Amino acid sequence: MKRREFLQISGVAGFGLMLGCTTSGDKVKNANAEDVELSHFVFIDTNGLVTILNHKPELGQGIFQAVPMIIAEELEVDINKINIIQSVADKSKYGNQGIGGSTSIRRGYTTLRTIGATGKAMLIQAAANKWECNVSECYAENGTAFRNNSKDKLSYGELVEAASLLEAPEKVELKNSADFKILGKSTPRQDIPIKVNGVARFGIDIEMDNMLYASVLRTPHMFGAVESYNKNEIDAIQGVASSSILKTELFGKPREGVAVLSEDYFAAYKARNQLNVVWKDIPEAYDDEKIFATFHKEKSNNPTAQRNKNEDKTLLSKEKYSITAEYECPYQSHSPMEPMNATVWVKDDNTVEAWLPTQNGQRAQGDISEVTGIPIENITVNVTFLGGGFGRRSLQDFAIEAAHLSMQTKRPVKVIWTREDDTVAGPFRPATLNVFKAGFDKNKNLTSFSNHIIAQIIGHQNPGADLTKIGSGTYEGAYWEYNFANYTQAATSVLLPIPIWYWRSVYSSTNCFVNESFVDELADYTGADPIDFRLKHIEDERAINVINTIRELSNWDTPGTGEYKGIAFIHAFQSYCAQVVTVEKSGSGVKIKKIDAVIDCGQTINPDTIEAQIEGSIVMGLTAAYKSYISIKGGQSVNSNFHNFELLRYNETPEIEVQIVKNDHAPGGMGEPGFPPTAPALGNAIFKATGKRVRKLPITEVKIG
């Protein structure tokens, strides 16, 4: 393939940018009948209508609009007049399309800008060629190329066919952030109206001819296999097309079930409720007490891994006093509003088409390929809107189930999990135990700080995993930039038959709570103001600015009568976030009056989305702080639905004020940094109001109104 036919942009995310051709090197491929493909991301029709493709799954985080905004900024088109479409999963065209870890923008920012700037450069070159002038005499604005000092102008629609055949420039100049017209400006999202009016298509909305619905009764023990079930009785039920044992694995362990299929979902579900299954290969039964007893047994043993900072052993000899504390965090359910579902069609021509609300369509392609034996290039994954995810939809077990059943039936199969399935089967946010110790000299100067994390490690569930290695993500959310002397972080891996997975902010959700709570304990021990204590031990200017900003926003130094305030801070996902929770006494408990939040995420894309992300994170943070958790008894989840896994309700949500720090640093993550500070800020406020230190979640010792 010639260079003018294909340009590989070696940016942060390694996207492939196709200029006027298909992957096979054909000439111009139209997205629609009249659209010319300027790149795999940009299509322009002859009337000038610009379509920009979003290649990342949209689960409410705003990426559907954000990716086109970045491209449109450099392409010089009006973001409010473009058409946005969702891509299929295709690594050769779009690079890594998975979402998780708040990585979409921060890893793809420069590449996406370069895509837009390259398209603009080619369109301007096409205009210069028509005008027979130097390209330096031309510029672009609002979807039109202009010639300096003349009335000459050509719309992108008039130029796109010629531009698509040009040799792409080796380098393009990106705009200065001071010249941005789109980025950093609040922009209405195209996906919001269609979600409100019901036009948007989520995975659970997929319908097609000859489709079967599947309702699956999975092992109630999180892992386990099927010995037998009453197949003849189930298959005889009116409306049931068939039933079968569904053999799947999770992390190398059997997680089997019985699938009932019908052309009507409720017929399948009703028949499923009449299943009589004999289970086998059930793992050892654990409950909450046994889980944490297992954790506590490990706290006196040498950790699996350890890292140190600012070692000064001379200070250790001067230690006169020490304080210790232990913190416990429970398992948590993801509980997105749309339960897990997948529609997969394994076709007779050795191809597969799937419609999935997935966080990682490429992983789904690989998993479906493994199940079916069909090459990835023959598997099309249409990524629908996702009704939430929080990490759960990066695991593709629901797609694997539908693929198995479609292979068996030779028909499209739509698997729908119930809310109970979602809640009891997991996988869950890991539970953790943290053991802290801090040493002081006779003047109460901090001389040592240690934190020992004892928990299941997500990667250690995989067969053959190296159990001696613990990645840095296990420590994420514990602010490593504190300049504590003799600063030690350690971790111990514990293996349990309870499936765990990535959950919004992952280990940051627990690490920030325990660390920022214990830092407050240190401030209290030394008699220092909690903000002053933090600032004394921080050198990062952006962190200092965020903390000073939250101090002012929250009226930290001038609380109202009867107000008590707690602070927490995090630097994670390349963003900085501080929150202050203000409470007032209410009987023997407290009432949350207000939550202030300051976020520095570098260059902003859409401020409205940032505010929404922080607000949503705080609501989820409060839910995890004092409303709900997953309780394990006899190896099963006690919780099953929203009656015993409650979410924060609208009337329970306090006033939230968000302030965005504006700068031109590289964009940081946004989907997760707003979550971790909420629980520790609340716990620290409760201590100020009641004198009770919160060291265990969810908060039950103090009533919260």
| pLDDT greater than 70 at residue 2 | no
d(CA 90, CA 298): 44
pLDDT digits (tens, 9 = 90+) for 114-163: 999 999 999 999 999 999 999 999 999 999 999 999 999 999 999 999 99
pLDDT digits (tens, 9 = 90+) for 386-409: 999 999 999 999 999 999 999 999
Count Cβ neighbours within 10 Å for each residue of 267-286 and write b for 16 or more, e otherwise: bbbbbbeebebebeebbeeb
Q: Does 499 share its domain with 631?
A: yes
Q: Which pLDDT score is estimated for 33? A: 45
Q: Does 407 share its domain with 432?
A: no
The position carrying tokens 């297992």 is 294
d(CA 181, CA 211): 47
Q: Which pLDDT score is estimated for 381? A: 98
d(CA 385, CA 414): 16
d(CA 648, CA 240): 39
| pLDDT tier for residue 553 given thresholds of 50, 70 and 90 | very high
pLDDT digits (tens, 9 = 90+) for 343-359: 999 999 999 999 999 99
Q: Does 222 share its domain with 187?
A: no
312 occurs within a structural domain: yes
376 occurs within a structural domain: yes
| pLDDT greater than 90 at residue 13 | no
pLDDT digits (tens, 9 = 90+) for 239-261: 999 999 999 999 999 999 999 99
| pLDDT greater than 70 at residue 76 | yes
702 occurs within a structural domain: no
Q: Which pLDDT score is estimated for 15? A: 25
58 occurs within a structural domain: yes
Q: Which pLDDT score is estimated for 34? A: 66
Mean pLDDT, to the nearest integer, of 210-230? 97
The whole domain housing 63 covers: 6-196
Q: Does 305 share its domain with 391?
A: no
Q: Which pLDDT score is estimated for 7? A: 32
628 occurs within a structural domain: yes
Mean pLDDT, to the nearest integer, of 454-467? 97
Q: Does 406 share its domain with 548?
A: no
Q: Which pLDDT score is estimated for 18? A: 31
Average pLDDT, whole number, for the chain?
94
Closest CA to 101 of 391, 460, 440: 391
Mean pLDDT, to the nearest integer, of 375-385? 98
d(CA 325, CA 525): 13
Please count the structural domains in the chain. 3
pLDDT digits (tens, 9 = 90+) for 657-671: 999 999 999 999 999
Cα angle vertex 355, ends 238, 573, to 5°?
130
Q: Does 256 share its domain with 111?
A: no
Q: Does 92 share its domain with 189?
A: yes
452 occurs within a structural domain: yes
369 occurs within a structural domain: yes
Q: Which pLDDT score is estimated for 35? A: 84
Mean pLDDT, to the nearest integer, of 646-663? 97
| pLDDT greater than 90 at residue 110 | yes
pLDDT digits (tens, 9 = 90+) for 286-342: 999 999 999 999 999 999 999 999 999 999 999 999 999 999 999 999 999 999 999
- Given 196, 218, 245, the domain boundary residue is 196
- Given 163, 196, 229, the domain boundary residue is 196
347 occurs within a structural domain: yes
Query: For residue 236, what are the contacts with CB-CB under 8 A and spacing of at least 6?
Result: none
The pTM (predicted TM-score) of the whole model is 0.94
Q: Which pLDDT score is estimated for 218? A: 98
Q: Does 495 share its domain with 535?
A: yes
**What CATH number corresponds to the domain at position 488?**
3.30.365.10
| pLDDT greater than 60 at residue 6 | no
Q: Does 355 share its domain with 448?
A: no
| pLDDT tier for residue 705 given thresholds of 50, 70 and 90 | confident
Q: Does 144 share its domain with 16?
A: yes
Distance of CA 273 to the CA centre of its chain: 34
Residue 91's identity, in one-letter code, is K
Q: Which pLDDT score is estimated for 626? A: 98
- Is-contact 569 540, C-beta < 8 A? no
- Given 396, 416, 436, the domain boundary residue is 416
Q: Does 623 share its domain with 660?
A: yes
Quickly count: other Cβ atoms within 10 Å of residue 309's Cβ.
15
Q: Does 373 share its domain with 504?
A: no
| pLDDT greater than 60 at residue 167 | yes
